[in-house]
A and B are shown apart, each in its own frame.
Chain A
Amino acid sequence: MGRKSGKKGLIGWITPFTNIERLLYTLHRITGIGLTLYLFIHIYETSLRMYGAETWIETVEFLENPIFHFGLLLVVLAAIFHGVNGIRLILQELGLIAPRPTQPVYPYRKYHRDQKIWRTTIIMIILGIGVAIFALRDFMILLGLI
């Protein structure tokens, strides 16, 4: 079997989502790439501290505007999703919350896996919303809304 067989390539990321895992897979990758880009910017931005107080204060003041606040909000939400979904993947890999994925061998057996994945996903969504509310509170304080 060739290395490329059965692969849809990048199109596979936006294939109509037939199940929740496909959606989570795509979002996990998109948020991962986005967070990597942010990481490089963040490393550069924090390294400006080396040039002293004046540069640091100028940088912080430059970032104090609604556009960067909105960008930071997206980064925080992406990080929350990526983190919570990552924990789900680790727990699943360890077989703690659902049977580990196996090769589909005929006759196909329908595990209770789908149900368990939904249950896990709902728990993770609740956990994610909890963390997101805490993060949003920060932004509301920053914007003077509370």
Chain B
Amino acid sequence: MAGGRLRLTIYFTGGLIAILLIIHLSLYSFWLVEGGYYTNMDWSNVSNRMRSLTWDIFYIILLSAVLLHSYSGIKGILYEYITGDRGRRIVDIVTTIIWVVALIYGLIPIMAG
């Protein structure tokens, strides 16, 4: 089980994700309309949303929360099996690099609009 600070991070970001994900998933839900279904996943909807500052902020918060949550969760699991100080330092460095790269990679399209 992850340590105190790690666990609190997991719980806090988990609660936040639960709320934000409902909005995210509802947005891309399929709605029955006459003669088929309607979805917001087409290009005009996606590009319009990405030009909106509100949605930019929404996605920055969602992306950061999800990445922080998964970072803490995976690190917590690895800490259970890698118990040495040197091993844990390597875990810290490797996971931090991977997740920071993912965060930057995810932020670029949001910022690009």
Which A residues form the contact surface with B (CB < 8 A)?
3-4, 7, 9-10, 29, 32-33, 35-36, 39-40, 43-44, 46-47, 49-50, 53, 56-57, 60, 76, 79, 83, 86-87, 89-90, 93, 135, 138, 141-142, 146
CA gap between A9 and B78 in the complex, in Å: 11
Inter-chain contact A86/B14, CB cutoff 8 Å: yes
- Of the candidates A10, A39, A86, A135, the one whose C-beta lies within 8 Å of that of B66 is A39
Main secondary structure of the interface of A (DSSP, over half): helix
Which B residues form the contact surface with A (CB < 8 A)?
7, 11, 14-15, 17-18, 21, 25, 29-30, 32, 37, 41, 43, 46-47, 50, 63, 66-67, 70, 73-74, 77, 80-81, 83, 102, 105-106, 108-109, 112
CA gap between A38 and B30 in the complex, in Å: 21
Main secondary structure of the interface of B (DSSP, over half): helix
In the complex formed, the residue of B with least CB distance to A44 is B105
CA gap between A5 and B21 in the complex, in Å: 39
